[in-house]
Chains A and B, each alone.
Chain A
Amino acid sequence: MTVVPRPDGTRERVSPPISTEAEPFWDATRERTLLVQWCPACDRGIHFPRAACPTCLGDVLEHRPSTGEGVVYACSTMASPGNPTMSGREPYVVALVDLDEGIRMLTNIVGEDAAAVAPGDPVRVAWEPLEDARHLPVFVRIKA
């Protein structure tokens, strides 16, 4: 899976906290694997990971590997940073991506052609290293 180093001269991103329910999700990012929490009873993906399925409230849940591919649902270019750790990256793209597994994630679209991204564009997961050996899932456009 693609590794996208953070841009030269920028800071480490603010470190995402790890909730109990999302420990498998974050652990898998150390191997650059994207997991989707899954409710077998409903046969549905869940994001963000939680203690019970938001459809049936069942608590027998598992995690499945994602294809890592999806489609941009909505996107916006930030003209200035949304928090101090993003300083120097602007302008950058924040997007909602609908994964093939039927879940939606907030993320960044990165790469040379990120600025031209639009809703409907196909994208694939890429990984930005975090200082604690986790990786943050971001997305790059899939070339036509």
Chain B
Amino acid sequence: MIATDPFRARTAIVGVADAVDPSGELDGTVRSLEVRMIREALTDAGLTIADVDGVASCISPGWAPSLELAEYLGIAPRWTDSTQTGGSSFEVQVQHAAAAIAAGMAEVVVVVYAATPKSSFKRGTGGFGSRQGVLAPTPSGEFEVPYGMRMPMGAYALAASRHMYEFGTTSEQLAQIAVDSRTWSSLNPRARLREPITVDDVLASPMQASPLRKLDCCLMTDGAGAVVLTSAERARDLRRPPAYILGTGTCTTHAMVSEMPDLTTTGAVVSGADAYRQAGLGPSDVDVLQLYDSFTITILLLLEDLGFCPKGEGGPFVAEGVLGRGGSHPANTTGGGLAYTHPGMFGIFLLVEAVRQLRGECGDRQVEGAEVALAHGSGGVLSAMSTVILGTEATR
């Protein structure tokens, strides 16, 4: 292994937790779930709240997520991060935390997320779909919302439309991505959707925003998760095998889809290249992928932009089931946002599963011999890309 980068394998994820239920709903408030995730992830690591000196959180009912969370936890961290990039916030925060720990600015950082859109919506207290018709004076309110694009799926549908136009990508090829997800979720007792499906099932599901159909779209569920990071030195003495942070990268290209420079290419080209360079690895070294599957088209774009196939060839690449169980590129081994859970932001679950795969904890859905895992978050409307490459002791 090349170990020239000063940040390579200097830090590790040492504790993980997530809460997901097949019903799609969880008991408890968002805050209580956050605290539970932090407790479980610290216990997993063999640490306590007294060890924590850094907190990252991207959402809160108030004005300063990581401050409010630290107050609730009763701690006074010397490192705080409320970075919000949508569903990739957690990969970005892991990148920030790894740099801070390597620089000596913090020693033990928790990154946490909880959301209950499904149960909140049922109670009539918000959740998805509760947005009203009065517009904030933002560029989006002024120049996008009046046109009635369904959000976020309409933006992803535009990307799929363009990819089909430029490269001949088909709905059948996109559908295979959803089919592959079920080969994993069928092995995951906590997954929301466990029934195997076929390409025809996807094509027969109701059109939402053409060319995307219902089964091209992620779930809407409750969910929560957390990860704990510390230095490589301290990681060696903890309860679980460390998942070393080998490389990270981030790139944001826009906030509104109408400002996306090229709808067939994402900032993952940049974030992936940075992460690979830091890790001294390339796509062929990755044993298991955790890619943000907000929609099937998201996966297709990420596979191209992260170098698993050339630009424009994602359709033929996925058509033979390479992402599913037994495939050459096992991806989203929980079932992903399409079949496992999706509380609005899936990024934390990508990290949790990547770590569990490297530890060999995944039971029926374990990818044998997984030494290098790539977790990639996508936030907003293909807006904010962040890549985290993790490895076992053998990869250091």
A residues in contact (CB < 8 Å) with B: 13-19, 22, 47-48, 73-86, 89, 92, 94-96, 104-108, 118-120, 136, 138
**B137 → A minimal CB distance (Å):** 4
Q: Decide if B162 touches A119 in the complex (CB within 8 Å).
A: yes
Residues of A within 8 A of B80 (CB): none
Chain B, residues 240-267, CB within 8 Å of chain A (1/0): the string is 0000000000000000111100010000
From A47, A76, A79, A119, name the one whose CB has the most chain B CB atoms within 10 angstroms. Answer: A76
At the interface, is chain B mostly helix, strand, loop or mixed? Answer: mixed
**Chain B hits for A48, CB < 8 A:** 139, 142-143, 258-259
Given known contacts A14-B133, A120-B165, is B209 in contact with A76 (CB within 8 Å)? yes
Q: List the B residue with the shortest CB-CB distance to A80.
A: B150
B133 pairs with A79, CB closer than 8 A: no
Residue B207 CB within 8 A of the other chain: yes
Known: A94-B158, A108-B148, A119-B162. A73 touches B263 (CB 8 A): yes
Which of B149, B208, B210 gathers most chain A CB within 10 Å?
B149
Cα-based distance from A54 to B258 in the complex (angstroms): 15
* Chain B, residue nearest A20 (CB): B137
Interchain CA distance A106-B146 in the complex, whole Å: 10
Q: Which residues of B contact A13 (CB under 8 A)?
A: 146, 148
Q: Give me 9 other A-B pairs in contact (C-beta within 8 A), A78-B150, A106-B149 excluded.
A: A14-B133, A16-B146, A17-B137, A17-B138, A94-B158, A95-B158, A118-B165, A119-B162, A136-B146
Tell me, yes or no, whether B326 is within 8 Å of chain A by CB: no
A22 to B206, CA, bound (A): 38
- The answer to whether the Cβ of B76 comes within 8 Å of any Cβ in the partner chain is no
Which A residues are CB-close (under 8 A) to B133? 14, 83-85
Q: Which residues of B contact A85 (CB under 8 A)?
A: 133, 148
Query: In the assembly, what is the distance between CA of A108 and CA of B138, in Å?
Result: 19
Complex contact B143–A76 (CB within 8 A): no
Interface size on B, residues (CB 8 A): 40
Decide: B209 and A83 in contact? CB cutoff 8 A. Answer: no
**Contact yes or no, B146 A77, CB < 8 A:** no
Q: Is the CB of B158 within 8 A of A82?
A: no
Contact of B147 among A73, A106, A118 (CB under 8 A): A106
Some 14 contacts from A to B, beta carbons below 8 A apart, are A14-B134, A16-B135, A16-B143, A48-B142, A76-B157, A76-B161, A77-B207, A82-B145, A84-B132, A94-B148, A95-B158, A105-B143, A107-B147, A138-B147
- Among B132, B142, B206, B212, point to the contact of A16 (Cβ < 8 A): B142
Q: Answer yes or no: B151 CB below 8 A from chain A CBs.
A: yes
How distant is the Cα of A137 from the Cα of B211 in the complex, in angstroms?
24
In the complex, what distance in Å separates the CA atom of A108 from the CA atom of B143? 11
Residues of B within 8 A of A19 (CB): 137, 139, 142
Report the separation of the CA atoms of residues A58 and B143 in the bound assembly, to the nearest whole angstrom: 22
Q: Which residue of B lies closest to A84 (CB)?
A: B133
Partner of A17, one of B132, B135, B149, B208: B135
Q: Does B77 contact A (CB under 8 A)?
A: no
| Residue of B144, B145, B148, B211 touching A92 (CB-CB under 8 A) | B148
User: How distant is A3 from chain B, measured CB to nearest CB, in Å?
Assistant: 17
Residue numbers in B under 8 Å from A81 (CB-CB): 148, 150
Closest to B134 in A: A14
In whole angstroms, how far apart are the Cα atoms of A120 and B162 in the complex?
10
**Cβ of A16 and Cβ of B141 under 8 Å apart?**
yes
CB of B380, distance to nearest CB on chain A (Å): 15
Tell me the chain B residues, 118-140 only, with Cβ under 8 Å from chain A: 131-139
Q: Could you say which residues of chain A place their CB within 8 Å of the CB of B22?
A: none
A81 to B162, CA, bound (A): 22
Contact residues, B59-83 vs A (CB, 8 A)? none
Is B161's CB under 8 angstroms from A75's CB?
Answer: yes
B247-290 near A? 1/0 per residue, CB < 8 Å: 00000000011110001000000000000000000000000000
Contact (Cβ within 8 A) A76 B154? yes
Q: Which residues of B contact A78 (CB under 8 A)?
A: 148-150, 154, 209
